[in-house]
């Protein structure tokens, strides 16, 4: 199912709220017709659904993500 940019932004916001409750989810983004969910490890990836509101979920294992001060 193809989504408009506005639909995907709304869907991303809802997914961020939903998946943000899952320990080990680092972030949510938009891929090519899918939601990318960035996770710490494969265990977290296995706990995610394959779809969210009819849109495929593409889990990406990133490890832990933390904010840093670049100082560049």
**pTM of the predicted protein model:** 0.81
Q: Domain for residue 10, yes or no? A: yes
Does any domain span residue 16?
Answer: yes
Give the confidence band of 18 by pLDDT, cuts at 50, 70, 90: very high
For residue 6, count other CB atoms closer than 10 A to its CB: 8
Q: Is residue 71 part of a domain?
A: no
Give residue 22's domain range: 5-61
Q: Is residue 66 part of a domain?
A: no
Which pair of tokens denotes residue 40?
């710490």
In a domain, 67, yes or no: no
Domains of the chain: total: 1
pLDDT at 32: 86
Domain assignment of residue 72, yes or no: no
pLDDT, one tens digit per residue, over 22-66 is: 999 999 999 888 999 999 999 999 999 999 999 999 999 998 777
Residue 9 phi/psi, 5-degree rounding, is: -65, -45
Where do the H-state alpha helices sit in 1-72? Answer: 5-19, 42-47
């Amino acid at each position: 199912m193809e989504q408009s940019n506005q639909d995907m932004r709304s869907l991303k916001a809802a997914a961020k709220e939903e998946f943000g409750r899952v320990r080990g989810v680092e972030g949510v983004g938009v891929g090519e017709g899918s939601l990318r969910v960035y996770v710490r490890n494969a265990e977290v990836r296995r706990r995610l659904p394959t779809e969210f509101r009819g849109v495929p979920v593409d889990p990406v294992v990133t490890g832990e993500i933390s904010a840093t001060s670049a100082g560049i």
